[in-house]
Every structure is written in C-alpha cells, then in structure tokens.
Amino acid sequence: MKVGLQQSVRLGQELRINPRLYQAMDLLYMPLLDLQQHLKQELVANPFLELVEPTEDGVEGDQEDETKEDENEVDWEDILLDGFETGGRREEYEEREYYEPTAVATRDLYDHLRDQIALLRLDPRQIIIAEEIIGNIDDTGFLTCELEAIVESLNAFLQSDDAKVAGFDNEVALTIEEAEAVLSIIQSLDPAGIGARDLRECLLLQLGDHDMGNTLVYDIVDKHFDRLVNHRWAEISKELGVSPQEVQAAADEIAKLDPKPGLQYSVGEGNYIIADLVVEKVDSDYIVFHNDTALPRLRLSRSYREVARDKAKFKGENKEFISNKLNNANWMLQAIEQRRQTMLKVMNFIVDRQRDFFEEGIEHLKPLTLREVAEVINMHESTVSRVTNQKYVQTPRGVFPLKFFFSSGLSTDSGEDVSARGIKARIQKLVGEEDTKKPLTDQTIVDILKREGINIARRTVAKYRDQLGILSARMRKRV
C-alpha cells in the first residue's frame, strides 16, 4: 500500500445558488412593512442609492434644479477618496435620524389585582398568599395552580434565609384554610369571576356578583352543569320541576356571562395590517395596483455615478468598494421592480380567476392552487408561494390575505368545481337561516347541497361545520 499525496482531475456539475438570488427571494417574501425597513437600511448602507423626493405637485422629480444644486454642491469626489469626511457640519449633507414613537407600558390583569389588594387591610401572611395566588392566575382569569402547591411553595420560602431577610422570622407554617380564605378575597375582586378554578366556579362567581344566588339560573349552573353543557333541557326541566322553555331562557342568561373575565385587561399587542396590493372596480373592470406609497423611492445617485466613471482615480480597496456598491445598487433596483411585477402578475390572475367572488361574494369563490398560478405566469410554484405569503390585498369586499384565494375544490353536476371556502360559506348561511326548533342535520345539508349540484359527503359537511365552530343539530335545537 502506497501512502502519499495525489492530484486528480474530475469534471462534474454542481448547483449553487447565487447569494443575490437568496436576497431576491427574501424580498419576495417580505411583507410591506418589512420591505420598508429593509429599503431604509439599504439607503443608509449604500451611497449609490438615493431617495427620490416628490415635487410640490406630487410627481417624483428625477431632475433637480441645476441652479439650486450648484449653490449647495458637495465635493463627492473628496468624500469618496477621503473616507466620507466632509469637514463640515453633519446636518449640511446628512438627514437627521428619525425615531418612531414607541408605545408606553400598559397595566395588565396582574397590576389591576395588585392595586385592589393594596387597598385591603391584610396582614403580612395574607399578603404573601395573595401575591402567590395572583401570580398563578393566567390571562383568562383562571387559577392555574392547586392551593396545596401554593401553600407548599410558600412554606418552603418561610423556612429559607430569604424569608428572614424579608422579615418573616419564625413564622408558623401556612395552612390550606388560610389559602382558601385569601382566595375568597381575591375572587371578590374585579372583574367578577376572577380566580376561579374551572368554568363552573367562574360562572357561579359572576352570578353571585349579580345577586342571582337564589335563582333558577344559579341552580342550573351549580347542580346541573354537565347537563347544561350538553344542552339536555328536558332532563334539567324534569329534575327541577320547570318547563323546558324556562330552562332554555335560563341558559340564554348564562350565555351572556363572560367565560374568560381576565381578557378584559389583556394587553396583547394589536395586529395592524397594511395591504400590499389594492383592487378597485373602475366601471366594469377590476384594476390592481400596488399600495407602496410609503415605500422609499430609490434611484442611483447621479453624483456618485459621475465620480465612479473615472475608474483611474480609484485603486485597491477603494476601487473594489465602488464596484461592489454600484453593482449592489443596480441589482437592488432591479429586484424591487421584479418584485412589483411578480406581485401584479399573481394578483391579476387571481382577479381574473375569482371575478365571481368580487361580483357576488364568497359562495362563488373558485378552487385555486399555487401550481395553476405558477403555470400561467411562467414561474416556479415556490416563487408564487413566497409572493402570496404574509401578503394582503384590499378589495371592494374587504381586506384578505392572498392565501385566502387558494383552496381545494369539490365537483358539481355542471362539471365546474366550487371552492371549499365557498361551501363553508354556504353551510354557514344555511345554518343561519334554519328553523331553530328544527335545525338542519348534516345529512339534510348534504341533500340541500346535492339539489344545488354540489356533490359532498356527510363527513365532509361535519368537518366543515366543526371548522366553522357550528354545533351539531341536537346542540343547536331550541325548545
């Protein structure tokens, strides 16, 4: 066996993705706000890009007034060769950075409960129990921890050195009875129903707060909660000696209570949507255009290009820097335009395909797949997926994500397909118009849809009904 170094020649093909292609795909994927921030960063990082300022009449001016430019002319050649040091005040040649206003901290459910506890006359032992209980209440207002675990945790704390530092020296161990008493105090706070350990207790606390402790409504929740959940009105009426109609009326009152009282003080961030595209109806046609007026309008800087033309002045790192930045600027402008055109192609095809939806509503939405769009606009399916992901369009019928227009389909007797979303809308409409004393069963809905030419299985109707949050016919029936 011979050991040593050897050289060999091998010819082969290898697929490599250009880094710029990755960046182009990222631009396609970016929602409008992300793209806006990205372009602002590119504007700062690349001197060959400049912002196109709109003129007084609202038209973007590509040519500035030469006289005004001469009066405030900056020696761009010196800036490039001397490392961007102008020697003058920064405000003369650089825009001041603008900071977006940020939202101030808001008070949540935990703060709301602590404020109320602070107004009560509680001893130190009650205060530490209350703090522990409040810390185990979730955003919906329910206690997520057993009282036994809370007492055990606090007793472990009282035996630690930290308790002595906090002033709890030689304290007697806490008991379940003390914890129950403090929990009752917390459950009397605002909002009503807070600190409940289950839905039944939450509803009972709210009824007690409304002075409904000796009513039929309270008895149903207290003693017949399982039957209430399963809408067994006849069994409840027989047990309590009242009519089914009275039970139904009591259930309607119970439905007005808040099953998640803590959400009243939720501080969840609001999700704001800015549409990337806009569809407007002009006469009988639907016109698609970009909603990108807030995007920075970029172009190649004329001053930097003039300096870069004389390549003999630049050597080494300066020459490489100029070349890279200029190429990146050109590519960025091309990528932005390509993104615009791709989005317009996709949305125009969607409008043509889904014209019935724009004219008549969601029940007339047609099935559509990414592959169909990709084949028509001569692009890869993954490209279409990136274009439609996290993008929104404003239409005469509301604001929708682009993914809304893509769904599977079902066959009809006429040979045309109908969108699954359209079927769901039809089911929802049928249930909304039904006789509540004789609600439509899944099989009845199947028969109605078949008469309309839509072939669908009963299990599919049941699946769509569950996805829409519609109860079964027995649960919807009223007496």
Does residue 394 or residue 48 have the better pLDDT?
A: 394
CATH value at residue 469: 1.10.10.60
Per residue in 444-462, pLDDT tens?
988 888 888 888 888 888 8
Q: Point out the domain boundary residue: 265, 293, 311.
A: 265
Does residue 226 or residue 1 have the better pLDDT?
A: 226
Report yes or no: 395 and 347 within 8 Å, Cβ to Cβ: no
253-263 average pLDDT score? 91
- Asked if the model's pLDDT at residue 69 lies above 80, the reply is no
Tokens representing residue 347 in the block: 């949305």
Q: How many domains does the chain have?
A: 3
Q: What is the pLDDT of residue 258?
A: 92
Domain membership of residue 99 (yes or no) is: no
Q: How far apart are CA 161 and CA 174, in angstroms?
A: 17
State whether 149 and 175 are in the same domain: yes
State whether 254 and 374 are in the same domain: no
State whether 397 and 414 are in the same domain: no
Domain membership of residue 54 (yes or no) is: no
Q: Point out the domain boundary residue: 405, 434, 449.
A: 405
Q: What is the pLDDT of residue 185?
A: 94
Q: How far apart are CA 376 and CA 378, in angstroms?
A: 6
* Stated pTM of the model: 0.62
Sign of CA dihedral 232, 238, 241, 242: positive
The CA distances from residue 137 to 102, 120, 142, 187, in Å, are: 28, 19, 5, 11
Our CA angle for 199, 205, 206, nearest 5°, is 90
State whether 186 and 286 are in the same domain: no
Domain membership of residue 295 (yes or no) is: yes
Domain membership of residue 255 (yes or no) is: yes
Whether the ω angle into residue 47 lies within 30 degrees of 0, i.e. cis, is no
Report yes or no: 383 and 374 within 8 Å, Cβ to Cβ: yes
State whether 115 and 170 are in the same domain: yes
Q: What is the pLDDT of residue 67?
A: 45
Q: Point out the domain boundary residue: 265, 292, 321.
A: 265
143-160 average pLDDT score? 87
State whether 375 and 398 are in the same domain: yes
Per residue in 5-51, pLDDT tens?
777 787 766 555 455 565 666 677 777 777 778 888 887 777 777 77
Domain membership of residue 103 (yes or no) is: no
State whether 256 and 293 are in the same domain: no
Q: What is the pLDDT of residue 207?
A: 93
Query: pLDDT-derived band of residue 362, with 50, 70 and 90 as boundaries?
Result: confident
The DSSP bridge pattern shows strands 392-395 and 398-401 to be antiparallel
Q: How far apart are CA 170 and CA 350, in angstroms?
A: 74
Question: Which 3 state secondary structure label does DSSP give 280?
Answer: strand
Domain membership of residue 65 (yes or no) is: no
- Asked if the model's pLDDT at residue 56 lies above 80, the reply is no
State whether 171 and 207 are in the same domain: yes
State whether 124 and 257 are in the same domain: yes
State whether 295 and 256 are in the same domain: no
State whether 261 and 113 are in the same domain: yes
Q: What is the domain extent for residue 426?
A: 409-476
Sign of CA dihedral 32, 37, 41, 43: positive
Percent residues over pLDDT 90 in the chain: 17
- Asked if the model's pLDDT at residue 242 lies above 50, the reply is yes
State whether 223 and 192 are in the same domain: yes
Domain membership of residue 11 (yes or no) is: no
Q: How far apart are CA 47 and CA 300, in angstroms?
A: 9
Question: Which residues in 261-381 belong to E strands, given as ranges?
Answer: 277-282, 285-290, 298-300
Domain membership of residue 92 (yes or no) is: no
Report yes or no: 398 and 444 within 8 Å, Cβ to Cβ: no
Q: What is the pLDDT of residue 460?
A: 87
Q: What is the pLDDT of residue 295?
A: 73
Residue 371 CB neighbours (<10 A): 11
